[in-house]
Each structure stands twice: as structure tokens, then as C-alpha cells.
Structure 1
Amino acid sequence: MGTSLTPEFWEQFTILLVAAMGVTIVLTAALDALAVRLLRRRAGRTPPPRRPRPTTTHHRTMVHG
């Protein structure tokens, strides 16, 4: 027993499809804007100053003699 797809089905299908596309586009744009904002904020920061590495060692040198 087969069922036919009624005009009401296609109307609801079209409405839901357009609504889903709209939500997807809006959500994607919002997440993209958030990502761009975070990248710009991170790029604007200066990295913390690094401490210079010590060039001398603090241990005794073994002398064989």
C-alpha cells in the first residue's frame, strides 16, 4: 500500500527546508564573526617577554690530572 506525497507535505517540506537553511546561514555567520574576533584579539597581543637563558653553568668542572 503506497502513499502519495500531498501538496501539504511539499508545502511543509519547503517551509522547513528554508527555515533550516536560514538557521544554518545565521549560525555560520555568527560563529565566523566570533572566530575572526578571537583571532584579531590574539594577534593584537604582544607575547610575554622571555627571560634570557643563562650562559654560565652553576656546577663544578671536573679536572683530571
Structure 2
Amino acid sequence: MGTSLTPEFWERFALLLFAAMGVTFALAALFDALALRRQSRRAHRPPTEPVMPPRAPHRPRTSDHRTSVHT
């Protein structure tokens, strides 16, 4: 069954290969543009709420005052 690959086969193969490459590059560019657009929208949006609430300032205890144990 030794069939040889004809010039017509190689022409169609090359045509389909380049068509597939073109579709791949076009879709990749489209998805990249959509990803960049989504990322820039998120960067310009102000945050809705803080992640952690602000903490109260730490007050050091004084060592010269002791709490009474008797009431």
C-alpha cells in the first residue's frame, strides 16, 4: 500500500496549517486584549471596603500603678 504524498496534498496541508496558525494567533490576540481590558478596569476601580479594619493604637501600661485585689 505504498502511497506517495502528492503535491496536491502538500499544498492543502500548507494551506490548512497556515489557516490554523492564523486563527490561533487571532484568538490569542483577542484573549490577551480582553484580559488586559479586564485588568485595567480592576485597577481603576476604588476598593469597596478595607481588607482589615484599622487597629487601635497600643497604650503601654505603667508599672508604677498596681490594681488592688481587695474591694
Q: TM-score w.r.t. structure 2 length?
A: 0.69
Name the structure with the higher helix share. 1
> Tell me, which stretches of 5 or more residues in structure 1 are unaligned?
56-65
CA RMSD of aligned residues (A): 2.1
Q: 1:10, 1:45 → 2: CA distance?
A: 53
Q: Match of 1:13? A: 13
Which runs of no fewer than 5 residues in structure 2 stay unpaired?
Answer: 57-71
Secondary structure, in 3 states, of the residue corresponding to 2:49? coil
How many correspondences in the alignment? Answer: 57
CA distance, structure 1, for counterparts of residue 32 and residue 12 of structure 2: 30
Greater C-alpha Rg: 2
Q: Deviations over 1:5-58 (max 9, x none)?
A: 0000000000000000000000000000000000000011011134x57x7xxx
Q: For 1:37 and 1:3, locate their aligned partners in 2 and report how far apart those are by CA, in whole Å.
A: 51
Please report the TM-score for the alignment, with normalisation by the length of structure 1. Answer: 0.74
